[in-house]
Amino acid sequence: MFIDKQYIQDTLAAAENTPDAAITAILDKAEAMQGLTHKEIAALLACDSPAQLQRIFDIAGQIKRHIYGNRIVMFAPLYVSDYCVNKCTYCSYNCGHSFGRRKLTMDEVRAEVIELEKMGHKRLALEAGEHDKECPLDYVIDCIKTIYDMKFENGEIRRVNVNIAATTVENYQCLQAAGIGTYILFQETYDKDVYENVHISGPKKDYAYHLTAFDRAMEGGIDDVGAGVLFGLSDPYLEVMGLMLHNEHLEERFGVGFHTISVPRLCRAEGMDMSAFPNLVDDAAFEKVVAVIRLAVPFTGLILSTREDHDMREKLLKIGVSQLSAGSSTEVGGYIKRATQEESMSQFKVNDERTAPEIIAELLDDGYIPSFCTACYRSGRTGDRFMSLAKSGQIKNVCLPNALMTLCEYAMDYGDEAFRTKTKAAIMANADNIGNEQVRVQTLANVDKIMNSGERDFFL
């Protein structure tokens, strides 16, 4: 197996003695955006001098600015079913927790999607608990089709990423055929002992089956996979090492590693006893692990969910995070409930309660370009095709124009006059950063069509 806890612990222990000169060489390599091996990552995790930590944060910021610029890709989760046969101690949807469970009918999926489209979202992460009877794959595929078909006014969902339980190669082939974007699955923890403790019962308890899900997904033809761990279950350094060894395994076997890594941190949920989790990660350690991941895999998108509050989001955006959720509900039917002001019962507590327009306007005020781009998946730039463009630096030649055009759409369809004025100024200022003159002229021509002719959906 490509994850061996003892090996990780031994590697972390050995890295404690890394000489300063070797750390400097690793940081120089990271600064050149060459990515790092898991042994080099172990050495950086062992760094604790203020000077070394500062250089790690400085390089993380440089990589973020160089590869991702000031663009932040926006998305929202859509929970379609909270039926679950698993008993995960950190999740309020676990089967030991009693509440009125439900799954959305297709009419309800359409209603939820309308609410998300009204917020301007173009990219969703479909989320469902594991339940073969109540939530079989056919139901998930119906949901995907319904989401893609549902168009409200100028709104449409152009990319559906899917986060469902580990499954078979055949089922992954069906998901791929349904046109999913990224297949997302969190390992939760790479620490097998902790994994078995926190997964009390259900199919998810099988560590090896869960760990090898991306192998089956890739065998089934899915080439964009999104990983994640739930920081707070075990030693965060062990988790970072697990992520990196998993990534190296996929690169060796399939030629491409993770498309994205999500960095959720354990937070309070209904029915959870927080004292049962002795490995909670404090803010300083959390910022360090995010920065080290940024250095380790510079071309892998880093995703932050609604769990973090505004201040932490701000810090992490500067050192690595490239995708954010906004206006999220983590409840089945939560968007309609919010629209009708019903009381909710979510999977976990959302710390950033601001609405999507508030978050998007604030990002713009802070100098970021909120992007609703979904172009790569729709242009066939996935898997190793995407990674080779990303590693050569060419991808940013399309990211910025696409960000400006999709932000312009958002402003015209969902912004008020003040937001449109700010957006126009931001587009004009940022268009100067499009290196290719022909692309810059084309982008501005498309922006003009979006603003003045009502045309939509331009992408490169």
For residues 342-381, which are near ligand SF4 according to CB under 6 A?
371, 373-376
204 binds ligand SF4 (CB under 6 A): yes
Measured distance CA(230)–CA(26) in Å, rounded = 27
Nearer to ligand SF4, 25 or 200 (CB): 200
Tokens for 400, please give them: 């910025």
160 binds ligand SF4 (CB under 6 A): no
Nearer to ligand SF4, 266 or 289 (CB): 266
Give the nearest distance from C-beta 126 to ligand SF4 in angstroms. Answer: 13
DSSP notation for 70-93: TEEEEEEEEEEE------BTT-TT
Give the nearest distance from C-beta 300 to ligand SF4 in angstroms. Answer: 11
For 344-381, letters b (16+ CB in 10 Å) and e give: ebbbbebbbeeebbebbbbbbeeebbbbbbbbbbeeeb
Pick one of 399, 404, 427, 434: the residue that binds ligand SF4 (CB under 6 A). 399
Measured distance CA(232)–CA(115) in Å, rounded = 32
Give the nearest distance from C-beta 373 to ligand SF4 in angstroms. Answer: 3
Q: Report helix, strand or coil for 162.
A: strand
CA angle 297, 299, 305 (to 5 degrees): 85
Q: Which 8-state DSSP code applies to residue 65?
A: I
Phi, psi of 389 (to 5 degrees): -70, -40
Measured distance CA(258)–CA(300) in Å, rounded = 7
395 binds ligand SF4 (CB under 6 A): yes
130 binds ligand SF4 (CB under 6 A): yes
Measured distance CA(282)–CA(186) in Å, rounded = 21
Task: Return the closest-CA partner of residue 189 out of 249, 235, 127.
Answer: 235
- Interface with ligand SF4 by CB under 6 A: which range of 39-47, 244-252, 392-400, 427-435? 392-400
How many residues touch ligand SF4 under the rule CB under 6 A: the total is 19
Nearer to ligand SF4, 61 or 203 (CB): 203
Give the nearest distance from C-beta 27 to ligand SF4 in angstroms. Answer: 26
- Interface with ligand SF4 by CB under 6 A: which range of 18-26, 53-61, 397-405, 441-449? 397-405
Give the nearest distance from C-beta 199 to ligand SF4 in angstroms. Answer: 7
For residues 59-98, which are near ligand SF4 according to CB under 6 A?
73, 84, 86, 88, 91, 93-94
Nearer to ligand SF4, 3 or 73 (CB): 73
Cβ proximity of 64 and 295 under 8 Å: no
User: What are the residues binding ligand SF4 (CB under 6 A)?
Assistant: 73, 84, 86, 88, 91, 93-94, 129-130, 204, 371, 373-376, 395, 398-399, 402
